Amino acid sequence: MTLSFDITTLRQGYLAGSFKPSDIITEVLSRIESGDSKIWISVDTKERLLAQAAELETKDPATLPLYGIPFGVKDNIDVAELPTTAACPDYRYFAEKDATVVAQLRAAGAIPIGKTNLDQFATGLVGVRSPYGVPGNAFDPEYLPGGSSSGSAVSVALGQVSFALGTDTAGSGRVPACFNNLVGLKPSRGLLSASGVVPACKSLDCVSIFALNASDAQTALRSAAAFDPSDAYSRQAPVQLESPRRAYREGMTFGVPSPEQLNFFGDQAYLNLYLEAVGQLESLGFKKQVVDFSPFLSAARLLYEGPWVAERYWAIQELIKEAPDALHPITKAIIEKGIDGTAVDAFDASYKLQAFRQATLPLWDEIDFLATPTAGTHYKIEEVEADPIQLNSNLGYYTNFMNLLDLASVAVPTGFTPKKLPFGITVIAPAFHDEKLLQVANKLHVASDLALGTSDQKVFPELAPFPTETLSIAVCGAHMSGLPLNSQLTELGATFNRAEKTSPNYRLFALPGTTPPKPGMVRDSSAGASIDLEIWELPKTQWAAFIEQIPSPLGIANIELADGTFVKGFSCEAWATSNATEVTNHGNWRKYIATLG
């Protein structure tokens, strides 16, 4: 069995001493050499790669999250001492330093192997617009590899590297993931620095991550993310939860486009697989809601029909003026359209986009994420060559709106067609909901029971918890799991921690006239007992919202636990127990409720 390059497997091997980084580099180079030469535009030298591995071998593998992990870099992202071409030989230059995102990953212990092929200047969703050839789709070379990040996706799917960087302005980090059985993370714009990245649409560009599973994508994201003052569009994710919807929780609501707004371009297999994926989400406990998808579709049309094409022209204006024949004919035809727009056109489009943004905002109060197909179909290369513009446009049906509307998304594999070609859906939410989406993607990927990439391996580690500050709260009654008021906690992003008991110093009363029935717990060291509790972790930013819902005579006090420590929790004013039924002898509110029938 070929060694899987997923991050968990490699880390376990490093920690156990089964192999070292230089062994993995040797294996990586062997796999690349024996594979499709059109996947990579350039590969670093064996000497330099082994030197990086040797330096890592002087360190403790446990101290670096990406220790010895090999990764690919799309060739519009700089890697020091390697050429950057953006798939245009006449544009080629040698990078003096790493792009910020590459530097972050290198600092975490990862090793950049080389530069992967792409649709020239990241213009296209097909993966066939490169003078360096077409990387073969990992499952059938007659079909598109997907673009523009074609080489990055195929290299991961074939197990040549553990993960790879792409870019995603219009879907280039998701469509290739779908076509090659990968997780494709399109982070919130600005979360990963674009400094050292050849721009496509500078105001919309986004560095993306191709990975074998959601855990690997999360590890790479957390290592690469950093605010970068040198990138004018860099942003930092809030550490705190400004909204409970940023945190994953069970039973979330997801939106699906209404049936007449779905488009599979005649591909019945993709339609069937999408319906199966939606059913799988429902079987996992998520709640489906049909939504109006029209504002998203209208926004999507602006990307190539509006003035944002002028950004593509701006990025390579000197080259297109001085050496227009250096461009791929289709790339040139698309980008040249950016010359004709006016300032009036730009403002007109910006006003339309703002209206579409406003139209979509209320939706996020109703749903936690959208679930759409990643692509509506999968074309053969010869089909796209016969109709390159329209078929490429079809592939952007579910992707082009994403960065215009400031959304985050994760493409996740969910099945295979009868022709044994991969299919997947994309889960979508507002910016900075990346971690929640990764959790959803992981749940769905596990349930789909698919092997990673082209391998026979199934490795799905648990994801790291959401990085937020919480405060423990002890609940003893209707807020406990499965009881009527538990939703007041979960809707604010609270998560269950553990079951506990109080010290033997408390009495429990059933308060009269409360709906739903509520207990009151008071401290009484002379006649008390130990009462069962649940400890929940509530984001600190949600405490005010939670406390607002607490009615008199209940309040929050310091509750002593059985081990003598204290935690914030529900308490009751003593006066309210004078006409209440004492239920201390039950020791547990659920047991008392059960006696009521």
The residues that are catalytic are: 74, 148, 172
Nearest to 556 by CA among 544, 572, 540, 545: 572
- Could you tell me the CA-to-CA distances from 246 to 272, 479, 522 in Å, in that order? 30, 21, 35
Q: 566-572 and 287-291: which strand pairing? A: unpaired
Nearest to 381 by CA among 142, 96, 137, 102: 142
- Could you tell me the CA-to-CA distances from 193 to 80, 187, 232 in Å, in that order? 16, 11, 9
- Distance CA(379)–CA(190), nearest Å, equals 32
Burial class (CB in 10 A: 0-12, 13-18, 19+), 532: middle
- Give, as one character, the DSSP assignment of residue 380: B
- Could you tell me the CA-to-CA distances from 487 to 285, 482, 509 in Å, in that order? 15, 9, 22
What is the sign, positive or negative, of the torsion defined by CA atoms of 144, 150, 153, 159?
positive
- Could you tell me the CA-to-CA distances from 518 to 245, 501, 532, 579, 590 in Å, in that order? 27, 18, 15, 14, 11
- Distance CA(207)–CA(566), nearest Å, equals 45
Is residue 427 within 8 A of residue 370, CB to CB? The reply is yes
The string of DSSP letters for 261-279 reads G---TT-HHHHHHHHHHHH
- Could you tell me the CA-to-CA distances from 569 to 223, 472, 496, 525, 561 in Å, in that order? 36, 8, 14, 17, 10
Element spanning 409, H or E: strand 407-416
